[in-house]
């Protein structure tokens, strides 16, 4: 359908929808007597979205439509359609170029997925938020992304078999000169066998202590013999010995002990001088913290992984999915860890509030916590534990954020956030005896509380039947969930 018959020749090829900027210009010419120059000015005004300029153009457009006996109601409606188009439209040549790129990248992603994602990660390397999304997509595609490795990594992300390896450039404190020194030494002498071997063969003027410490802490030395904790403890001695050897070598002198030493053992063993102290390795939590600090994100695991079930149960989705699909001014519940927290004082009243960053395994979003909510949530936000946030999602051209109404520890979410309890039975699996057993537990008073209980019964080939259990209220707790699982052998309880 067309608002006016005169629009059909202009919009027929795009099924009545304004798609290209040229169509806007043509509509202005045909319906409002614009010259080509005036039509181009209209196109620019719509692209810039300047309210004052748009109002001037509306007046000019309506003046022209009146000259062509088009009523203002219809003229305003068509102008609004053109203004709406400006939010997504391109000119034809631009659209054609983007379409070609889209076809090319789709082909590469379908037929060379590992190479494509490695290139995408390299291209997005300066944007942590994009890298987090890319890593999540790699996981969905079944592509493993390996941490940096001094024996395998190139400068940027690279393909290793059917996997992707982080580049050395991703490691904080490791600059261009240091990367070149590592790659040159590896090219010349092959894989490194241990910390001493690494320090002896790389130029310590370019690979200083900070570089070495960062490579060890982020896991780039894990393929060598030894633990991260051992290398950190042995680092100063290794640097001192290697610097002395390099100095002698540069002077043309041979080290007396090297002359007496036997040839380096074969089979990938570490050379002499790598006598590492017998100490425990860093904890998994310490390793993850180091990855986050030095790479900007977690690679070998994620602290929130063990909380996945609770996050799924109590949130409206991942942060990435909320940002992608939720409209402005929507009530949302999100979860994750507090990555940063800045306290501020309000101008009016001088009260404390906070700006925080909430981060999960797929993205991050800004939290604004005004004084009333912050008074109750300050201690929770300062903890190192994951949290659940309920509030209003706000979307603008500049950014997205959540105005927090309530923040609770994720571990307390069952008790603090649940408003109803759903118990799901399958009629093909659960018997009348199961119904009686359930009734016995619910009526025992052992789990009494304030939440109403619903029984959802699934019948094969039929709709789900939901029953609100009368005079039954339960306190949501992990103990109640465990009791139900022990009784029925599966997870039948959901807290909402």
CATH code for the domain in which residue 223 is found: 1.10.150
In a domain, 275, yes or no: no
3 state SS of 337: strand
Q: What is the pLDDT of residue 363?
A: 87
Alpha-carbon gap, residue 81 to 78, rounded angstroms:
5
* N-term to C-term CA, the chain: 45
Q: What's the domain count of the chain?
A: 4
Looking at the structure, do residues 453 and 426 belong to the same domain, yes or no? yes
Q: Are residues 406 and 466 in the same domain?
A: no
pLDDT tens for 447-463 read 889 999 999 998 888 77
Q: What are the φ/ψ torsions at residue 107 (nearest 5 degrees)?
A: -65, -45
In a domain? residue 486: yes
**Residue 99 within any structural domain of the chain:** no
Q: Which residues contact 305 (CB under 8 A, 6 or more apart)?
A: 361
Residue 138 lies in a domain: yes
Range of the domain at 449: 418-495
Rounded distance between C-alpha atoms, residue 147 and residue 175, angstroms: 17
Residue 432 lies in a domain: yes
pLDDT for residue 47 is more than 90: no
Round to whole Å and give the CA distance between 365 and 488.
39
pLDDT band at 209 (very low <50, low <70, confident <90, very high): very high
Split at pLDDT 50, 70, 90, the class of 101 is very high
Statement to judge: residues 119 and 246 lie in one domain: yes
Give yes or no: residues 148 and 191 share one domain: yes
pLDDT of residue 268 exceeding 60, the answer is no
Total-model pTM: 0.71
**Is 292 part of a structural domain of the chain?**
no
Residues of the chain with pLDDT > 70: what percent? 95
Residues 150 and 250 in one domain: yes
Q: Mark whether 127 and 247 lie in a shared domain.
A: yes
Beta strand residue intervals within 101-258, DSSP E: 145-146, 158-160, 163-165
Tell me whether residue 103 is in a domain: no
- H/E run at residue 448: strand 448-458
What is the CATH number for 477?
3.40.1350
The DSSP letter of residue 463 is -
Q: Is 360 helix (H, G, I), strand (E, B) or coil?
A: coil
Is 104 a member of any domain?
no
- In this structure, the answer to whether residues 154 and 248 fall within a common structural domain is yes
Are residue 73 and residue 130 in the same domain, yes or no?
A: no
| pLDDT tier for residue 253 given thresholds of 50, 70 and 90 | low
pLDDT of residue 100 exceeding 90: yes
Residue range 266-275: average pLDDT? 52
Tokens read off for 301: 């695991």
Q: Mind listing the pLDDT tens digit for each residue in 320-360?
A: 999 999 999 999 999 999 999 999 999 988 999 999 999 99
Residue of 451, 449, 465, 466 lying closest to 420 (CA atoms): 451
Widest Cα–Cα separation across the chain: 104
Residues 51 and 158 in one domain: no
Greatest mean pLDDT range, 250-254, 346-350, 367-371? 367-371
8 A C-beta contact, residue 451 and residue 481: no
Model confidence at 493, pLDDT cuts 50, 70, 90, reads confident
Measured at the alpha carbon of residue 137, what is the angle toward residues 132 and 142, in degrees to the nearest 5? 125
Reduce the DSSP state of residue 449 to 3 states and report it: strand
């Amino acid at each position: 359908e067309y608002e006016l018959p005169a629009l059909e020749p202009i919009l027929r090829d795009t099924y009545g929808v304004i798609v290209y900027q040229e169509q806007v210009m043509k509509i202005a010419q045909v319906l409002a007597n614009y010259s080509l120059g005036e039509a181009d000015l209209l196109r620019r005004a719509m692209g810039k979205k300047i309210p004052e300029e748009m109002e001037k153009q509306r007046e000019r457009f309506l003046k022209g439509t009146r000259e062509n006996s088009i009523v203002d109601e219809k003229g305003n409606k068509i102008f609004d359609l053109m203004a709406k188009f400006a939010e997504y439209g391109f000119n034809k040549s631009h659209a054609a170029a983007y379409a070609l790129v889209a076809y090319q990248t789709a082909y590469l992603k379908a037929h060379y997925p590992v190479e494509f994602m490695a290139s995408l990660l390299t291209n997005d390397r300066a944007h942590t938020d994009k890298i987090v999304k890319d890593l999540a997509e790699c996981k969905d595609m079944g592509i493993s992304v390996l941490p940096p490795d001094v024996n395998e990594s190139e400068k940027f992300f690279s393909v290793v078999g059917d996997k992707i390896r982080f580049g050395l450039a991703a490691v904080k404190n490791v600059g261009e000169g240091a990367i070149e020194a590592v790659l040159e030494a590896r090219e010349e002498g092959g894989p490194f066998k241990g910390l001493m071997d690494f320090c002896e063969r790389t130029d310590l003027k370019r690979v200083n202590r900070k570089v070495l410490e960062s490579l060890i802490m982020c896991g780039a030395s894990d393929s060598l013999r030894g633990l991260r904790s051992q290398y950190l403890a042995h680092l100063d001695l290794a640097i001192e010995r290697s610097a002395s050897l390099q100095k002698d070598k540069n002077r043309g002198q041979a080290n007396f002990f090297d002359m007496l030493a036997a040839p380096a053992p074969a089979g990938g063993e570490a050379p002499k001088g790598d006598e590492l102290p017998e100490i425990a390795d860093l904890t998994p939590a310490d390793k993850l913290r180091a990855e986050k600090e030095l790479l900007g994100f977690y690679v070998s695991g994620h602290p929130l992984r063990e909380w996945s079930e609770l996050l799924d149960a109590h949130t409206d989705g991942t942060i990435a999915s909320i940002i992608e699909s939720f409209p402005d001014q929507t009530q949302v519940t999100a979860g994750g860890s507090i990555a940063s927290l800045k306290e501020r004082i309000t101008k009016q009243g001088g009260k404390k509030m906070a700006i925080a960053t909430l981060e999960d395994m797929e993205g991050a979003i800004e939290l604004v916590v005004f004084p009333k909510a912050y008074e109750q949530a300050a201690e929770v936000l300062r903890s190192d534990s994951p949290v659940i946030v309920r509030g209003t999602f706000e979307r603008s051209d500049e950014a997205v954020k959540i105005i927090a109404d309530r923040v609770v520890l994720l571990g307390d979410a069952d008790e603090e956030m649940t408003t109803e309890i759903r118990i799901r039975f399958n009629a093909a699996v659960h018997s009348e005896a199961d119904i009686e057993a359930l009734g016995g537990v619910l009526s025992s008073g052992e789990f009494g509380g304030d939440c109403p209980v619903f029984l959802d019964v699934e019948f094969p080939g039929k709709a789900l039947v939901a029953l609100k259990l009368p005079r039954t209220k339960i306190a949501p707790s992990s103990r109640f969930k465990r009791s139900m699982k022990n009784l029925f052998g599966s997870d039948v309880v959901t807290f909402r």
